[in-house]
Amino acid sequence: MFSGKARAYTNIALIKYWGKEDQELIIPMNSSLSLTLDAFYTETQVIFSEDLTEDRFYLDNQLQDSKATVKVSRFLDLVRSQARSSLYAVVKSQNFVPTAAGLASSASGLAALAGAASAALKLDLAPEDLSRLARRGSGSACRSIYGGFAEWQKGNSDQTSRAVKVPSNNFENDLSMIFVVVNDAKKDISSRDGMQRTVETSAFYDGWLQTVPQDLARAKKAIIEKDFNTLGKVTEASALKMHGTTLAANPPFTYWSAESMQVMDLVRQLRNNGLPCYFTMDAGPNVKILVERKNENALLHALSSQLNYQHLVVAHAGPAIEILPEDAPLPSF
């Protein structure tokens, strides 16, 4: 019996990734840049055993059906291949983040699975290699291997597409991100399906793609110079451009809701009134607001006083993936 356990944190892309160049290897159409956060995370334990005749997958203490388990098994096959092992595994994963609601649960989930499985089979992977492995489960998971800012470098092959740490002068410690959870239900269109439809049919997609390298360079420069307003502007613009591409897909769709637009309008009003803050959104209706830590309380007060719901979550820069002690009880087979 071989066991490993890991905790990985979500990351939120400031410069967005949207679309795959290679569906099988999960090589993106563009590079992206993210901030790992401490508020949401996944803990996963993987136990390989000779007593098993198939893989089993438990999510939040519930045994998952064959569809969910197949995805996990395919990922485990990559780990088994590297380790030259044929053992089946029990995977126990606990999400401390709503699943499939645009809050990046796939990033933390697949990063934790990569860390736990590779630890169980003693692969001893360097961060870049663990990032490459995590990418094969979920693209954004490759960035959750790192704490703080990370750049997923597009690359052009399985070997070259991986995330790296972004130099920051510890700028991440000056920042807060407030999640306005307008809806934590499972979304109608998955990120994977939304990306594919957009890449294949959106009249706006190529135009957005051409702007990404400049946005990425601008964001990295702002980070190293600790220029909050420039980082905020390029973050907000990247999100708006990405979501704009979905409106020109066939058929068109959007992840925005009326509540999403209300929050975005409020952020603009607050900024115009002298409180520097900027929004971003992933493939879901929930809005994330980037603000300097010194202005965190002022923003929270403004949001609480002007929104009808109180589901606000404060996040700060999160750590890199952690390999945890194996003190959790092992399941019986």
CATH code at 171-315: 3.30.70.890
**What are the sequence ranges of the domains in the chain?**
2-170, 171-315
Helix (H) or strand (E) holding 195: helix 191-201
202-258 per-position pLDDT tens digit? 999 999 999 999 999 999 999 999 999 999 999 999 999 999 999 999 999 999 999
Neighbour-count burial of 53, counting CB atoms closer than 10 A to its CB (0-12 exposed, 13-18 middle, 19+ buried): exposed
Cβ partners under 8 Å of residue 242, min gap 6: 16, 18, 208
Q: What is the pLDDT of residue 206?
A: 96
Helix (H) or strand (E) holding 264: helix 258-272
DSSP classification of residue 172:
G
Q: What is the pLDDT of residue 333?
A: 45
Q: What is the pTM of this model?
A: 0.92
Cβ partners under 8 Å of residue 258, min gap 6: none
The CATH classification of domain 2-170, taken from the options 3.40.50.460, 3.30.230.10, 3.40.1390.10, 3.40.605.10: 3.30.230.10
104-124 per-position pLDDT tens digit? 578 999 999 999 999 999 999
Q: What is the pLDDT of residue 119?
A: 97
Terminal-to-terminal C-alpha distance of the chain: 11
29-67 per-position pLDDT tens digit? 999 999 999 989 999 999 999 999 999 999 999 999 999
Percentage of the chain lying above the pLDDT 70 cut: 94
Long-range contacts of 70-76 (CB under 8 A, 24+ apart): 71/137, 72/113, 75/110, 75/113, 75/114, 75/117, 75/136, 75/137, 76/46, 76/117
